[in-house]
């Protein structure tokens, strides 16, 4: 189920779940949870979203970075980012963790 994220949720950290490994293979990203056997593949913009999530660790910083890279409406970008993160959470590949106050990451 895709749900819109409030401003508070956008300040949450995105962390790769325990047991998850990933590789960048010629622009495509493959993600595997070695504990559950869940496999997920991303190509094109999906792969870039993953790399930005890993790099920045927050939805808002990832969103801001992607805005600079893609010629897309901000509402569409936010929807696509939230939808992918929701899928990754549902599959147990990432976790959303609230940032403590004062965390500037």
Give me the number of domains the chain comprises: 1
Question: Which of 43, 27, 42 is CA-nearest to residue 94?
Answer: 42
| Residue 88 resides in a domain | yes
pLDDT value of position 8: 47
| Residue 26 resides in a domain | yes
Separation of CA 104 from chain center: 18
pLDDT value of position 74: 94
Q: Going residue by residue through the chain (105 aa), what tens digit of pLDDT does each one get?
A: 334 444 444 467 899 999 999 999 988 999 999 999 999 999 999 999 999 999 999 999 999 999 999 999 999 999 999 999 999 999 999 999 987 655 555
Give residue for tokens 């508070």: 8
β-partners of residue 96 are 14
Owning domain of residue 43: 7-97
């Amino acid at each position: 189920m895709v749900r819109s994220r409030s401003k508070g949720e956008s300040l949450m950290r995105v962390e790769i779940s325990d047991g998850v490994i990933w590789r960048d293979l010629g622009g495509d990203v493959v993600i595997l949870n070695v504990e559950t056997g869940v496999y997920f593949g991303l190509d094109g913009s999906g792969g870039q979203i993953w790399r930005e999530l890993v790099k920045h660790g927050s939805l808002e910083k990832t969103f801001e970075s992607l805005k600079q890279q893609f010629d897309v409406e901000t509402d569409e970008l936010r929807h696509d980012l939230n939808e992918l993160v929701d899928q990754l959470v549902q599959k147990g590949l990432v976790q959303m963790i609230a940032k403590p106050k004062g965390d500037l990451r």
